[in-house]
Amino acid sequence: GAVVSQHPSRVICKSGTSVKIECRSLDFQATTMFWYRQFPKQSLMLMATSNEGSKATYEQGVEKDKFLINHASLTLSTLTVTSAHPEDSSFYICSARDLRQGAWGYTFGSGTRLTVV
Amino acid sequence: QKEVEQDPGPLSVPEGAIVSLNCTYSNSAFQYFMWYRQYSRKGPELLMYTYSSGNKEDGRFTAQVDKSSKYISLFIRDSQPSDSATYLCAMSAETGGFKTIFGAGTRLFVKA
């Protein structure tokens, strides 16, 4: 089945620094990837849709200058949290769509737990 | 009102019990319905999926969709401690570009 690798799984950074999270589709090409944020005991909230070769589409309320998304190839999307602050601490999860599996082809990465101190 | 409503629980049951998890939704355009299982500190994994109304069974799991009531269910038979996880319902519509909307997730604990 489709596999999505997300790295790192856990990161601690100082306030004011930037952190990059990578999401890779290992055995399929993903023209579209999604980035979610999940607070403890809450659901996944879609932050943005990452489109290969074009600008990401951000959900309402998500700061595009703070959460930079780059989808430079068909197998890699990155999310950079710029000038991170403690309130950015959260669980970030990416998802990629394997078109071979139609509407069900969304596979999630294992998530990245970001802690900003 | 949220597009998808799901009781966050927690739900605690003894091993072997039948578990019923439910979600309601407001957008009648939803056509694709999914259940994901998420273990602590992991990404969700697709458990079951159905298109439009009806039932689907896979081993100990049964997914039901009632579009007329805008209500979906996941039943787990003979529940096991390994079923302890958070279960998220999710749904999407082709008209929405398959943008997936998730429920809040129900935390399930199956006690041995």
Q: What is the average pLDDT score of chain A?
A: 91
Higher pLDDT, B1 or A5: A5
Q: Identify residues of A whose CB sits under 8 angstroms from chain B CBs.
A: 4, 6, 34, 41-44, 46, 49, 91, 93, 95, 97, 103-104, 106-111, 113
Q: What is the average pLDDT score of chain B?
A: 92
Sign, CA torsion A94/A98/A103/A107: negative
B2 vs A: CB within 8 A? no
Does the beta-carbon distance from B43 to A104 stay under 8 Å?
no
Does the beta-carbon distance from A44 to B41 stay under 8 Å?
no
Does the beta-carbon distance from A103 to B92 stay under 8 Å?
yes
Residue B16 reports pLDDT greater than 90? yes
Q: What is the pLDDT of residues B48-77, one digit of tens each?
A: 988 888 899 999 999 999 999 999 999 999
Higher pLDDT, B83 or A51: B83
Backbone dihedral angles phi then psi of residue B13, each to the nearest 5 degrees: -135, 155
What does the pLDDT average to over B22-38? 93
Q: What pLDDT does residue A103 have?
A: 65
Does the beta-carbon distance from B44 to A107 stay under 8 Å?
no
Q: Give the percent of chain B with pLDDT over 90.
A: 70
- Distances B84 to B19, B38, B92 between C-alpha atoms, Å: 11, 9, 26
